[in-house]
Structure 1
Amino acid sequence: MKILRKFICSLLAHRNAILTMHSMAQRFTLVVLVLITFGCSDFVEVDPPRNTLVSETVFEDPSTVQSALANLYYSMREERGMVSGTFGLTTAMGIYSDELDYYGFEANYSQLYNHNLTAGNDIIMAWWSQAYRLIYGANAIIEGVESSSQLTTMEKNSAKGQALFVRAYIHSLLVSLYGEVPYITTTDYLGNNMVSRMQEEEVYQNIIGDLKDAIVLLEGFEPTSHERAVPDQYTAKALLSRNYLYIGDWEMAATLATGLIDVFSLEPNLDQVFLKDSPETIWQLKPEEGFNTKEAEQLIIPAVPGQRYALTDDLVGSFEMGDLRSDHWMGSVSDADGTITLHYAFKYKADLNETTSLEYSIRFRLAEQYLIRAEARVQMGDIGGAQQDLNAVRNRAGLPDTMADTLNSLLDAIYKERRVELFAEQGHRWFDLKRSGRANDVLGEQKTNWKDTDVLLPLPEAELETNPNLLPQNAGY
């Protein structure tokens, strides 16, 4: 088994995309799946009895099914994917938009920062490949538990619901970044290798369908741990609310956000919002014991020079006078001469290595839901309700009630509030600029090489060569 795992991992190092593994025999699909998706990490190893196919054992024992799910979350956090705290959306789309300045020398990141991105960019390829590996792993769990004869109905439902959430979550990021993408729902890698891209509207309908199913399946499911590290029905509702907002279904976005606001509560102490036991957290990725977040490691500047990222002056200047977030969620450091002062995101404060884990990597939290409902309400003409939601976030930050009282002024106020509340969190700023149609106006003034086609990333060149059905390439690349 270990020799085979090393062989498969070697293949993976040369070709990340699971969809293009032509040479693997069909009868070894699930064996390859488990080894590729899970076996290249030491986080959890699932070794079946000798002479028994992995496909016959993993989905007959609830503990090994949970191990397979845990590895999906581990892969999100640790690998070079969109959700990773090291290589993911927070830093990459922070420098792509107007949140972060980049001081490093790595060519792939420089392309993002300078908006001269090419289809051969390694980050773009890594995100695409890891995304579809996660989707493939989620599909394998869905198929495996459906055919299991040993799992209880609750065990099947909870595993399938989590996997459907993962499938929807990753597709939601792909469509936001790349536009039209395939929506993969099977483990038939030969068939998947021939897929074409779907229109964005169809992708979103698939996302919504998966999340609706996940919510039903996760009804009554309570993770054994109360650390909010396992997706449940509330996590699926948070993602569904966000996607309804993105497609302009204001009523459903507001309804789902209301359901979450009724269950969770805003953490009043700004210094405790990002601690692992914050009452505001809906879902977070748990690090290995004794470690904290990669976000803190990436974003905190220990000394100048030596920084890789810093908050842009434009972002720092966007905070209102008296906004406590500028004091509690931002730090600053100067060079030895005191001539240069840079600001950094200080939401996550704990060192990576600690005797205990103090902070987990938050992916969904309640403040976003208040701002989702505020935006949905104003779009439906509920000015008072929108003001109330906006003020809940503003007041927590020490700010007075908003003075905005018209549709346009409230929308501007909500977008501004999203910027200062959700900065340096998983690319929210970029997605807001893109979905609101303001990317050209905002970034056109700040990015020398900005083009209107930059609202979408290019599909990886290697994927287009492997599967011509993905053509045409996005405009501008």
Structure 2
Amino acid sequence: MRRKIFFAIAGFVLLTLYTGCKLDVVPQDRYTDALIWKNPENIDRYIEDQYQVFKTFAFGRFPIGYNNATDALTDIMKFTSDLPGNGTVNRLAFEPGSVNPSSPGLDYWSAGYTQIRRINEFLSGLQQYATVDDTKRRTFEAEARFIRGYVYFWLVKLHGSVILLDKPATSKENSRSSEDECWNFIATDFAFAAEHLPVKRDDGQQGRVTNAAAYGMLAKTWLYAASIAEYDKKQFNKDALTGVPAAKKDSYYRNAVQAAAAVIKLAEGGACGLEDDYAQLFSSRNSKESLLTINYLRPSVVHDFDRDFCPPADVPGAAVAGVPTAELADEFEMADGHPFSWSDPAMAANPYAGREPRFAATILYNGAQWKGRTLNTTTADTREGFVEYKSVPEPKRTVTGYYLRKMLDAANTNIFDNKSDQPWMVMRYAEVLLIHAEATTKTGDLGSARNSLNQLRNRVKLPPVTATNEAQLMNAIEHERKVELAFEGERYWDLRRWRKAHIVLNNVRFHGHKISPDGNGLRYETVDCDKQNRFFPTTFYYMPIPLQEIVNNTSIEQIQGW
């Protein structure tokens, strides 16, 4: 996809020359709004540039700026550093008092509204000046509204109640809308996009959003709104504008079912679908499973995922940002569908044998084959082996006994020079099936829920889920989301929308597996990889609006509790 910055529109100049007869004259030596918008190619380049926003969140970077940052706030990943900078995520997990309106920690407000302003200016110009036909106009509008919906989706996940703007702002004084209004606004943007975007893009437009991506995000939006309606119940914040009325839960879950079903219907028609090989899924640039992909291309459009997560021998001298936890490793089932358990002598004696395929596709473990070598993550190996967290400020090796495998490029053997260019899937079909499974569970259609869930399990040859009630199915869905979507930036937000973060992430420590030589065998020991308790106060369900925004806009009040 072209990533050019459209200099002409960014430099709009509107001049009106007045003569003695009040005659309006079009200047011949500069661009005007009308002149620029007459060229469809200019419009196309402008909207292409707005796709940069998806890179903000690629590889779970979030606004913190570190790959897998939000997953490292949860039970599935541990960041290794105890230093400022690389250890920022640990400090957010350990020290909630560091988060305040002056220093929000998770902050996207200014960047998000800058993006919204650009989209609204584009939509205004499109309606006033563009000379394209109605079909093309609607497609451009749908594309822009998809991006606006995506930006608002992140803002509302953070704050609940935000300022809604559907046109260029004429004043800096704007008040917050209710959280319910915000979710509906986002849904309206995605619904419009779903109606007017094409099923398939022409050659040369690969990577541009389609209606499958729009329906997918619409389903996700309604699932979030329904989750807040069901689980929040104004227990955690008394702000008049946060929360979604509990009475709307059922209708919002039904909306999520309908949107997810639209994607499933498109899949049945061949527009998308599951790939057969989970392990190869994340290196494909043209996967049928991807509903929206951000592609990178060496040498100019690259990222640093391999540098941050490859085992140390791959990148001499580099820090290993984060590693999988024991909690995640233990979550993967055996190949026959039995839960893994350290209390089972046979499993404990050889814990990495006989696991389901997603385990080896997600985690590098002791004895795994990687780039022509056998990984040694025991305490005996001083290069790639286990080291206690906090024993050194920047350990540059695993503090849990594991390394990440998912999304790494096994063919990248010169990471410092090559950087990384593997794609990032903003949304994939597997997530839609999980959304459909959850929403149909909540609407009482347990058969459809099991069917969607079992499509994912069938891919990796696991036995089907046979849950017969809502509670059992929700447990199965949480498990599948945890392993299927690991390191795709979903776990933190799932725990928040389910209002379980203050239970799972508060006053707890997570763990690793310390492996030591023991005679002719190995000794496995579950160890604390945090060394201090993590905290998630319930105020974190609604993050503060940055203080400077409150100063700049006297019509906006801070989220109550901050």
**TM-score bin (small chain):** 0.7 to 0.9
- The one-character-per-residue Cα deviations of 1:214-240 (angstroms, maximum 9, x if unpaired) are 22222567343464x111211111100
Structure 1 stretch 459-468 or stretch 329-338: which is displaced more?
329-338
Match of 2:357 among 324, 339, 346: 324
Q: Against the structure 1 CA distance between its residues 288 and 118, is the aligned structure 2 distance closer, same or farther, given a 3 Å change threshold? A: farther
Contact 2:197 2:210 in 1 (8 A): yes
From the superposition, tell whether residues 87 and 377 of structure 1 become closer, same or farther in structure 2 (CA, over 3 Å): closer
What amino acid sits opposite 1:412 in the alignment? Answer: N
| Contact 2:441–2:449 (CA under 8 A) maintained in structure 1 | yes
Counterpart residue type for residue 92 of structure 2 = L
Distance, in Å, in 1 between the alignment partners of 2:488 and 2:504 is: 19
Task: List per-residue Cα deviations over 1:239-291 (Å, max 9, x = no partner).
Answer: 00111212232222222222212322101111221211111000011224545
Alignment deviations for residues 393-424 of structure 1 (CA, whole Å, 9 cap, x no partner):
12223321124221101111101111111111
Query: In structure 1, what is the Cα distance between the partners aligned to 2:472 and 2:560?
Result: 34
Q: Give the whole-Å Cα distance in 1 for the aligned partners of 2:560 and 2:285.
A: 40
2:263 is the counterpart of 1:260:
yes
* Contact 2:116-2:148 at 8 Å conserved across structures: yes
Which of 469, 472, 475 matches 2:558? Answer: 472
Moved over 6 A (4+): 352-358
1:382 equivalent in structure 2 = 445
Selected match of 1:425 from 471, 482, 488:
488
Whether the 8 Å CA contact 2:304–2:419 is kept in 1: the answer is no
Range with bigger deviation, 199-208 or 52-61: 52-61
The answer as to 2:78 corresponding to 1:97 is: no
TM-aligned CA distance change 1:266 to 1:253, over 3 Å? same
**Is the Cα–Cα contact under 8 Å of residues 92 and 112 in structure 1 kept in the other structure?**
no
Choose the corresponding residue for 1:201, options 159, 164, 180.
180
Aligned residue type for 1:233: N
Aligned residues of 1:208 and 1:243 also touching (Cα < 8 A): yes
Match of 2:38 in 1: 60
Within 5 A, what are the aligned runs for 1:156-305?
156-188=137-169, 190-191=170-171, 193-219=172-198, 222-225=201-204, 227=206, 229-248=207-226, 249-262=252-265, 263=267, 264-274=272-282, 275-290=284-299, 291=301, 293-303=303-313
Cα offset for 1:355?
A: 8.1
* Shift in CA distance, 239/113, structure 1 to aligned 2, threshold 3 Å: same
Q: How does 1:397-476 map to 2 (within 5 A)?
A: 397-426=460-489, 428-446=490-508, 447-475=533-561
Residue 412 and residue 86 in structure 1: after superposition, are their counterparts in 2 closer, same or farther (change >3 A)? closer
Shift of the 61–123 alpha-carbon distance from structure 1 to 2, 3 Å rule, reads farther
Contact 1:311 1:345 in 2 (8 A): yes
Read off the aligned partner of 1:102 and give its amino acid letter: F
**In structure 1, C-alpha distance between the alignment counterparts of 2:491 and 2:386, rounded to whole Å:** 29
Question: How many Å separate the matches in 2 of 1:443 and 1:297?
Answer: 28
Q: Structure 1 residues 230, 137: CA separation in 2 closer, same or farther (over 3 Å shift)?
A: same
Per-residue deviation, 1:85: 5.6
C-alpha deviation, 1:297, in angstroms:
4.3
Residues 276 and 360 in structure 1, CA contact (< 8 A), matched pair in contact too: yes
Letter in 2 for 1:208: A
One-letter amino acid of the counterpart of residue 182, structure 2:
V
- Structure 1 distance, partners of 2:419, 2:386, is 37
Shift of 1:181: 0.8
Q: Give the equivalent residue in structure 2 for 1:346.
A: 405
CA contact (8 A) 1:86 1:298 kept: no
- Between 1:212-221 and 1:174-183, the stretch displaced more is 212-221
Indicate the larger mover: 59-68 or 440-449: 440-449
Give the whole-Å Cα distance in 2 for the aligned partners of 1:464 and 1:300. Answer: 42
Q: Give the aligned residue type for 1:96.
A: L
Change over 3 Å in CA distance of 1:87–1:177 after alignment to 2: closer
Q: What TM-score comes out, normalization by structure 2 length? A: 0.69
SS at match of 2:50: helix
Q: Is the 8 A contact 1:31 1:53 kept in 2?
A: no
Secondary structure of the structure 1 residue equivalent to 2:129: coil
Unaligned runs of at least 5 residues, structure 2: 14-26, 227-251, 335-354, 366-374, 388-397, 509-532
Residue among 137, 144, 153 paired with 2:125: 144
1:124 is matched with which residue: 106, 126, 130? Answer: 106
Is the CA contact 1:175–1:200 (under 8 Å) kept in the aligned structure 2? yes
After superposition, the C-alpha distances for 1:348-388 in whole angstroms (9 at most, x for unaligned) are: 12247898986321101000111111111111222222111
TM-score, length-normalised on structure 1? 0.81
CA contact 1:182–1:196 (8 Å) conserved in 2: yes
- 8 Å contact from structure 1 (residues 33, 137) kept in 2: no
Q: 1:330·1:344 contact (CA, 8 Å) conserved in 2?
A: yes
Distance 1:33 1:124 in 2: 33
CA distance in 2, matches of 1:83, 1:180: 24
The DSSP-based 3-state class of the residue aligned with 1:185 is coil
Residue in 1 aligned with 2:523? none
* Alpha carbons of structure 1 residues 310 and 357: separation in structure 2 relative to 1, 3 Å: closer
Tell me, in whole angstroms, the C-alpha distance in 2 between the residues paired with 1:234 and 1:462. Answer: 38
Q: Following TM superposition, by how much is the alpha carbon of 1:439 offset from its aligned partner in structure 2, in angstroms?
A: 1.3
For residues 70 and 155 of structure 1, the distance between their equivalents in structure 2, rounded to whole angstroms, comes to 15
- Give me the whole-angstrom Cα distance separating, in 2, the residues matched to 1:394 and 1:98: 22
Q: Distance in 2 between matches of 1:278 and 1:429?
A: 23
Aligned: 1:370 with 2:433: yes
Q: Alpha carbons of 1:435 and 1:362: their partners in 2 closer, same or farther (altered >3 Å)?
A: same
Tell me the distance in 2 between the aligned counterparts of 1:286 and 1:324: 26
RMSD: 3.1
Residue pair 2:159, 2:545 contacting (<8 A) in 1 also:
yes
Q: Which amino acid is 1:195 matched to?
A: N
Tell me the distance in 2 between the aligned counterparts of 1:295 and 1:170: 23
> Would the alpha carbon gap of residues 75 and 259 (structure 1) be closer, same or farther in structure 2, given more than 3 Å must change?
closer
5+ long unaligned stretches in structure 1: 9-27, 35-48
Structure 2 CA distance for aligned equivalents of residues 237 and 280 of structure 1: 14
Distance 1:235 1:376 in 2: 18
Structure 1 residues 223 and 177, CA gap change in structure 2 (3 angstroms)? farther
Conserved? CA contact 2:104–2:545, under 8 Å: no
Q: Is the 8 A contact 1:196 1:469 kept in 2?
A: yes
